[in-house]
């Protein structure tokens, strides 16, 4: 049985994961209308992944005797001045999610809820990957600068990243 403080903290994380999905979805829409097919596809897949993170938390809360709460969400930003700004926002958002997961892990450790602590280790590892990927993409974008040819190649490259990530997840 989940302690009420753990249940509340997990429900907060459920909302954060749902908002993360919305952030990626909004970015996908922006990229798509600006002709960035690869970036849009990447963002749509990331949105789906964040939703799966949320669903995993929901199932855990409910299976442990708690009640997962579905709440209203903060509207994500819908326009960007450039794709570089979009990826900078994405990286900051991933840092925020990592901080939230770390706080949640700390709460479970202090509460001696080792089952939830163990469950959250998957999220810790996932956030390490998410941050590294966002940072890597942002570094590439910063190298491109204003080079339109580089942007075109980057959009094609991110299609390859998306295809690889999809294949890895299915394996």
Residue range(s) defining the domain that contains residue 151? 4-170
110: domain CATH number is 1.20.1260.10
Query: What confidence score (pLDDT) does residue 115 get?
Result: 97
Distance CA 50, CA 113 (A): 24
C-alpha span between 101 and 104 (Å, rounded): 5
Helices and strands (H, E) in the chain, number of each type: 5, 0
Residues 6+ apart with CB under 8 A from 126: 53
CB atoms within 10 A of CB 162: 19
Residue whose token pair is 């980057």: 154
Residue 144 is predicted with a pLDDT of 87
The torsion defined by the Cα of 95, 57, 54 and 68, in degrees rounded to 10, comes to -120
pLDDT at residue 169, rounded to an integer: 65
| pTM exceeding 0.85 | yes
* 18 contacts 51 by C-beta, under 8 angstroms: yes
Total tally of structural domains belonging to the chain: 1
What pLDDT is recorded for position 5?
96
Model pLDDT for residues 65-105, shown as the tens digit of each residue: 999 999 999 999 999 998 889 999 999 999 999 999 999 99
């Amino acid at each position: 049985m989940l302690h009420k403080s753990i249940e509340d903290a997990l429900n907060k994380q459920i909302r954060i994961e749902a908002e993360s999905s919305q952030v990626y979805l909004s970015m996908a829409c922006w990229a798509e209308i600006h002709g960035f097919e690869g970036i849009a596809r990447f963002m749509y897949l990331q949105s789906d992944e964040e939703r799966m993170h949320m669903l995993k938390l929901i199932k855990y809360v409910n299976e442990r005797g708690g009640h997962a709460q579905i709440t209203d969400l903060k509207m994500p930003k819908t326009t960007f001045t450039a794709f570089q700004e979009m990826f900078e926002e994405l990286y900051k958002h991933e840092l925020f999610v990592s901080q939230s997961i770390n706080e949640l892990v700390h709460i479970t450790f202090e509460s001696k809820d080792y089952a939830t602590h163990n469950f959250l280790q998957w999220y810790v590892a996932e956030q390490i990957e998410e941050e590294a990927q966002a940072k890597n993409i942002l570094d590439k974008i910063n190298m491109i600068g204003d080079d339109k040819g580089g942007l075109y190649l980057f959009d094609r490259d991110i299609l390859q990243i998306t295809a690889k990530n999809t294949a890895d997840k299915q394996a």
